[in-house]
Amino acid sequence: SSELTQDPAVSVALGQIVTITCQGDSLRSYYASWYQQKPGQAPVLVIFGKDNRPSGIPDRFSGSSSENTASLTITGAQAEDEADYYCNSRDNSGDHVVFGGGTKLTVL
Amino acid sequence: QVQLQESGPGLVKPSQTLSLTCTVSGGSISSGGYYWSWIRQFPGKGLEWIGNIYYSGNTYYSPSLKSRVTISVDTSKNQFSVRLSSVTAADTAVYYCARHRVGQCTGGSCEWLDPWGQGTLVTVSS
């Protein structure tokens, strides 16, 4: 089992705010990064570090972290945001890279 | 911009060795500053980090795969490769390569994988 825990599924009404969380003890020491994956496509980085967006990622995506929980927030969810979202960081030893189990986001 | 492309056999027999290559374009592996990672995604969707390599040849592997995996780099071809030995059906997955940055962000350590290759499906079956 992964050392990073995500809720398997989350839903949000079109245009509303949604937060996807990732929990793990290693997150007290390491930031998480977040990836969006649509069916049949490779994951795409959407947030890294404290709250950094790569070029081309809409500013409705933001990140935050507190204690052992990292969060990805979408402010004003769009239909095209429906996807799987994965967090990524270090394991509890800090020596190895791990992924969360993924959260399937449904936009209603 | 940097692009990555995986290549290799899509079908491997049980007990044999899976071999894949990632070709990097738009940037040089030798320029440093980045690790180069392999990740796989199982049919049920979970992602698993396999390991990575620096241009100097330093490697880091997932502890669960360490006994079976070897990652190498060919800077002259701007490629890096993964070999996974003694494969079973449980190794059936989409295999991705990605550029991996490890560094310091405001407030702490951070790392990220970007960009990723398109992925290649490897099926282990007789």
Check A42 against B62: CB less than 8 A apart: no
Which residues partner with A18 through β-bridges? A74
Nearest Cα of chain B lies from the Cα of A77 at a distance, in angstroms, of 23
Check B47 against A29: CB less than 8 A apart: no
Interface test with A, best of B1, B38, B47 (most A CBs within 10 A): B47
Residues 6+ apart with CB under 8 A from B18: B8, B9, B12, B82, B83, B84, B85, B87, B91, B95, B122, B124
Of A29, A45, A84, the CB nearest to B45: A84
Phi/psi for A105 (5° steps) reads -95, 125
| Positive or negative: CA dihedral B37, A45, B114, B5 | positive
For strand B18-25 and strand B3-7, is the pairing parallel, antiparallel, or unpaired? antiparallel
Interatomic CA distance for residues B122 and A67, integer angstroms: 39
Q: State pLDDT tens for residues A29-80.
A: 899 999 999 999 999 999 999 899 999 999 999 999 999 999 999 999 999 9
Residue A92, pLDDT above cutoff 90: no
Q: Average of pLDDT values for B77-85?
A: 98
Residue A1, pLDDT above cutoff 60: no
Beta carbons of B99 and B39 less than 8 angstroms apart: no
Closest chain B CA to residue A91:
B62
Nearest Cα of chain B lies from the Cα of A39 at a distance, in angstroms, of 10
With contacts defined as CB-CB under 8 Å, which chain A residues touch B118? 41-42
Q: Would you call B110 an interface residue with chain A, using a CB distance cutoff of 8 Å?
A: yes
Residue A24, pLDDT above cutoff 80: yes
pLDDT band at B44 (very low <50, low <70, confident <90, very high): confident
With contacts defined as CB-CB under 8 Å, which chain B residues touch A41? 118
Check B110 against A48: CB less than 8 A apart: yes
Q: State pLDDT tens for residues B89-118.
A: 999 999 999 999 988 888 788 899 999 999
Of B45, B63, B100, the CB nearest to A102: B45
Of B62, B109, B115, the CB nearest to A96: B62
pLDDT score for A2:
63
pLDDT score for A89:
94
